[in-house]
Amino acid sequence: MTTKETILITGGAGFIGSHMVDCALNAGYAVRVVDNLSGGREANLAHLGGNQDLDCEWVDIRELAPDAKVFKGVDRVVHFAGIGDIVPSIERPTDYMSVNVQGTVHALECAREAGVSKFVYAASSSCYGLADVPTREDHPIQPQYPYALSKYMGEQSAFHWHQVYGLPVNSVRIFNAYGTRVRTTGAYGAVFGVFFKQKLEGRPYTVVGDGTQSRDFLYVTDVAAAFLAAAESGMTGQVWNLGAGNPQSINRLIELLGGDKVHVPKRPGEPDCTWADITAIGRDLGWSPRVSFEDGVAMMMKEIDVWKDAPLWDPASIAEATKTWFEHMDKERAQ
Ligand code: UDP
């Protein structure tokens, strides 16, 4: 019989979730993964093949009854399962509410039934909208698009379970996570995916606006370490912002990647700068970022071949892919 504690990771085959699996195994946990493989890929866990401490169940979280077997004997839960990206959320809002809100409710019910000692919710900094920086946890909430709203409502649900049922919940609001295993297919999305494929093909980088805008990028292994700390903390009912606390401009990213650029129009509703105030998470969890932006980009560069079959974006296809964005978010033009 195993004496190890068990941690269940929803979305454990995904980009951040799979790094969380590595992190939890390294910390000595038995790990269960629940993932419906919609965004996640078994390949993200292939390096763990045969590991006795890892069990995977390929199931949609919304199909789990509260007494689902996979949650039996689980000590802690980290909930990453969900869907991302702005444009598809504007096009298909009901899917986002279903997966990110209702899916969270299912995970909460399972966790409650299992009597877990901690449930950590993977929240998004997009709840702050166009925020003052550096952004603290008590900043006003102003979601700008359905993805942001759905992630925030998932978080609210988690705290409701804390309040009503006494479920020990913490939430970590992620700023811009980047790193290996980030998805390479699907909708136009995160800048790293777009640029790495462009680099591989020797095409110019499609810089939005003048490239001076900056993001609080945090390498994915640092993200996973923070979530483990939130899962092990004695504190409950907490929200922590999670970033490197050191925003980097798009022009800086291009400097590191090297190559030509071409400009595409600035998108309405996009912040010029995201920047997490990480005072609270440093103080409460003793967490701090370990991987520099330069090292993180270099680690991704080593695996640039994973972009072989990724879509190649250019100004024309980006204009087409972001049409709905401009349509619904350009409030000034719409008036
Ligand atoms: N970006 C860019 N070119 C692209 C895609 C994104 O210059 O083809 C910029 C975008 O303007 C933003 C940053 O990269 O400043 C990060 O964008 P992403 O969509 O990855 O994250 P988010 O804007 O949601 O923080």
Per-residue pLDDT averaged across 268-291, rounded? 96
Dump pLDDT digits (tens) for 106-139. 999 999 999 999 999 999 999 999 999 999 999 9
Beta-carbon contacts of 326 under 8 Å, excluding residues fewer than 6 positions away, are 267, 268, 333
Per-residue pLDDT averaged across 39-45, rounded? 97
For CATH 3.90.25.10, the residue range(s) in the chain are: 182-215+246-273+291-322
Q: Which of 175, 145, 179, 181 is nearest to 43 (CA)?
A: 181
Give the torsion through C-alpha atoms of 193, 199, 200, 204, to 10 deg. 110
Ligand 1, pocket-test mutation among 203, 250, 313, 317, most atoms within 8 A of CB = 250
Q: How does the average pLDDT of the chain come out, rounded?
A: 96
| pLDDT > 90 fraction of the chain, expressed in percent and rounded | 90
Q: Report how far ligand 1's centroid is from the alpha carbon of 208 (Å).
A: 7
Q: Are 330 and 222 in contact (CB under 8 A)?
A: no
Residue 58 and residue 72: Cα distance in Å, rounded?
A: 16
**Residue 53 pLDDT level (bands cut at 50, 70, 90):** very high
Dump pLDDT digits (tens) for 282-297. 999 999 999 999 999 9
| 35: enclosing H helix or E strand | strand 30-35
Query: Which tokens in the block code for residue 294?
Result: 């330069």
- pLDDT given at position 335: 46
Is the CB–ligand 1 distance for residue 250 below 6 Å?
A: yes
Catalytic position from the list 29, 96, 121, 147? 147
Nearest CA to ligand 1 atom 8: 206
Is the CB–ligand 1 distance for residue 151 below 6 Å?
A: no
CB atoms < 10 A from the CB of 173, how many? 25
CATH class of segment(s) 6-177+217-242: alpha beta
- pLDDT given at position 307: 94
Of the listed ranges 55-59, 72-76, 255-259, 321-325, the least confidently predicted one is 321-325
Q: Over 80: is that where the pLDDT of 331 sits?
A: no
* 219 classed as catalytic: no
Q: Over 50: is that where the pLDDT of 262 sits?
A: yes
Ligand 1, pocket-test mutation among 208, 267, 329, most atoms within 8 A of CB = 208
For CATH 3.40.50.720, the residue range(s) in the chain are: 6-177+217-242
Q: Compute the half-sphere exposure of residue 201: CA atoms within 13 Å on the CB side of its CA.
A: 16
Is the CB–ligand 1 distance for residue 213 below 6 Å?
A: yes
Is the CB–ligand 1 distance for residue 118 below 6 Å?
A: no
Nearest CA to ligand 1 atom 6: 191
Is the CB–ligand 1 distance for residue 182 below 6 Å?
A: no
Per-residue pLDDT averaged across 13-39, rounded? 98
Assigned architecture for domain 182-215+246-273+291-322: Alpha-Beta Complex (3.90)
Dump pLDDT digits (tens) for 159-218. 999 999 999 999 999 999 999 999 888 888 889 989 999 999 999 999 999 999 999 999
| 197: enclosing H helix or E strand | helix 191-200
